[in-house]
Amino acid sequence: MNSAFATPTASLDDPFYYLTNFRFVLAWVGERHADLLAADELAFLEQFESLPQASQALLVRMVMRKGELFRLGKLSYAEIGDSATAMAPLVSLGWVDSDPALSVDELFHQLRLAELRQALAAEIRAAGLSASSAKTVLYDTLASRLTHTVSLPTWWPNAPDRVVRLTVMETCDRLRLMFFGNLRQDWAEFVLTELGLQRFESVPFTPQSSAFQSRQEVDTYLVLHHLRQRLDEGELPADLYREVPSPSDNRWLATRRARLLLQLGREAERSGDSALALTLYGDADSSEARIRQLRVLERVGEHQAAFARATQALDSSPNETEHQALARILPRLRRRLKLPAEPSDPEPAHERWDLSLPGPQWVERAVVEALSEPGAPSYYVENALLPGLFGLLCWPAIFAPLPGAFFHPFHNGPADLYRDDFVARRRDTFDACLAHLEDGSYQEVIRATWREKHGLTSPFVHWAIVDEPLVELALTCIPAVHLRLCFERLLGDLKANRAGLPDLIQFMPGAPVGEPRYRMIEVKGPGDRLQDNQRRWLTFFHRHAMPVAVCYVTWSTGDEPEP
């Protein structure tokens, strides 16, 4: 049976609003994903409900804070009352360790400088340090000497406060992951929504809609997440590579795995381990990984191997980004291997404007002011206007309630947005949306969507820029055939092609019949160059005779723009 996502009804006026939100998540996961939970996790859901409200609230307060260690004296909340009393049931369940062992790092994190000077007075004297030494000096000197892990009373028998450790954070993170489908989003989503700072589309869904179809998939996500954390903390790529899970049939997890391998490969490459980098890039087997692998092969002199792989990649219908990179690599390899050059299509020459302006200043704003005139206004839109119009026209396709696309109330777009099959799964719906460009109804459809959906989060519509007057000018001046071409290009590679669009657009609604009524303008300040994604869009515009120019700005009173 279909239903719609509904956000919890907690009000920030309710002192236990955060508890209401947490209960909402537990109920959601328990109802929809009980088959993916282990016995201890199911027990957590059941036992949480049996706790006194104050104990529930205190647990949630800790879960929503950073880390697992807390000073009891800082867990003071008016609605909870005495923290020690509320803590007791949590300690009984083993969810909180009331006397945890602390490493020296944890001790330094929990205690203030004055407290450390008292707790470690003997060690400070033994090390020959001044009692007034700074915290960093104390740590740098004592950390290597204090290798034991003991409770706070052992470190400091006269400690006036207690430190406790939350032991169920791993369980709570798993439940949060199963609700959001990622660990990027957290409990703040509820608060931001309640404050009205973000609003989400209400999407119908089926009970089968879920980020995960098995417990193994949840486990794999967590392993990949923790491996990335350990890479960021400085662990070696070679050590982490041994723990990377095997490829998954789940395309979403396969993409995450490939991204991790790419990151490991880049770190290996930076550290000079070319052999490992080549292995990691090969295992990732993504477009970016293949190009990086070719560049490493070039750098180590394996030109024949690089040429063979580049030729194979070119014959495998690469996307525009990969094709552009291959078009640069292959001629270099041909020269090094003394092979005959192959003819290539020259990059079309773009219309160039040179403009000298007083400055330095914000270059795009300066060009907008210089070009705008009555009847021909210019706007800074960059990557917002064309994707915004696309998002408005194709809203039904983007927010189509397909399995695996939406599974909680806080999606700003479908979870499978950048997966290879995103468009294919919705091709009929996208075709129906684009058909409005053929029959002339697209203008009213876009206007109606703007009015109905204004303010709802969308991966394509940036409401602060795509306001109603700008939409009206765009609908008046940009021909439907040009919109159709741009929208189809976006659909060809949503992740890559939504960026690289020109900075400005100028409208000429009063232009004579047959003359263009708009012009896109890419702005380049002193020393700035066209990026690859910008070149691809310029080539596309030239191919379809769409009006575009590149404006190169120099400052008449200086060389560098303001930061």
User: pLDDT tens for residues 4-15?
Assistant: 444 555 566 789
**pLDDT of 7:** 52
| Greatest Cα-to-Cα distance within the chain, rounded to the nearest angstrom | 90
> Higher confidence at residue 276 or residue 3?
276
Separation CA 343–CA 325 (nearest Å): 16
Tokens of 210: 């879920």
Please report the DSSP string for 401-435 in residue order: --TTT--STT-SS-TTTTSTTHHHHTHHHHHHHHH
- Find the range with the poorest average confidence among 1-5, 256-260, 300-304, 436-440: 1-5
Asked if residue 309 lies in contact with residue 333, where contact means CB atoms within 8 angstroms, the answer is: no
End-to-end distance of the chain based on CA atoms, in angstroms? 55
Long-range contacts of 88-91 (CB under 8 A, 24+ apart): 88/55, 89/51, 89/52, 89/55, 90/51, 90/55, 90/58, 90/59, 91/164
Phi, psi angle pair for 80, to nearest 5°: -90, -35
8-state DSSP, 456: B
131 has a pLDDT exceeding 90: no
360-397 per-position pLDDT tens digit: 899 999 999 999 999 999 999 989 999 999 999 999 99
**pLDDT of 13:** 78
Helix, strand, coil shares of the chain, percent, nearest 5, are 50, 10, 40
- Find the range with the poorest average confidence among 92-101, 255-264, 271-280, 551-560: 551-560
159-207 per-position pLDDT tens digit: 999 999 999 999 999 999 999 989 998 888 887 777 777 899 988 766 6
Separation CA 129–CA 425 (nearest Å): 67
358 has a pLDDT exceeding 80: yes
**pLDDT of 543:** 94
**pLDDT of 8:** 54
559 has a pLDDT exceeding 70: no
- Reference 355, options 524, 501, 516, 530; nearest CA is 524
Phi, psi angle pair for 552, to nearest 5°: -100, 120
**pLDDT of 408:** 86
Domains and CATH numbers, the chain: 3-180 (no CATH), 209-336 (1.25.40.10), 352-555 (no CATH)
**Interstrand relation of 518-524 and 548-555 (parallel, antiparallel or unpaired):** parallel
The CA–CA distances, whole Å, from 110 to 69, 104, 139, 182 equal 8, 10, 13, 29
Tokens of 405: 């696309």
136 has a pLDDT exceeding 80: yes
Average pLDDT over residues 415-434: 93
Rg of the chain's alpha carbons, rounded to an integer? Answer: 29
- Find the range with the poorest average confidence among 279-288, 529-538, 553-562: 553-562
Please report the DSSP string for 22-41 in residue order: HHHHHHHHHHHHGGG--HHH
**pTM assigned to the model:** 0.83
18-64 per-position pLDDT tens digit: 999 999 999 999 988 999 999 999 999 999 999 999 999 999 999 99
458 has a pLDDT exceeding 50: yes
Separation CA 141–CA 153 (nearest Å): 22
- Find the range with the poorest average confidence among 204-218, 423-437, 544-558: 204-218
Please report the DSSP string for 496-559 in residue order: HHTS---SEEEE-TTPPTTS-SEEEEEEE-TT----HHHHHHHHHHHHTT--EEEEEEEESS-S
472-530 per-position pLDDT tens digit: 999 999 999 999 999 999 999 999 999 999 999 999 999 998 899 999 999 999 999 99
Tell me what the pLDDT averaged over the chain comes to: 92
**pLDDT of 210:** 78
443 has a pLDDT exceeding 80: yes
228-252 per-position pLDDT tens digit: 999 999 999 999 999 999 998 888 8
Asked if residue 135 lies in contact with residue 108, where contact means CB atoms within 8 angstroms, the answer is: yes
Give the rounded percent of residues in the chain with a pLDDT score beyond 70. 96
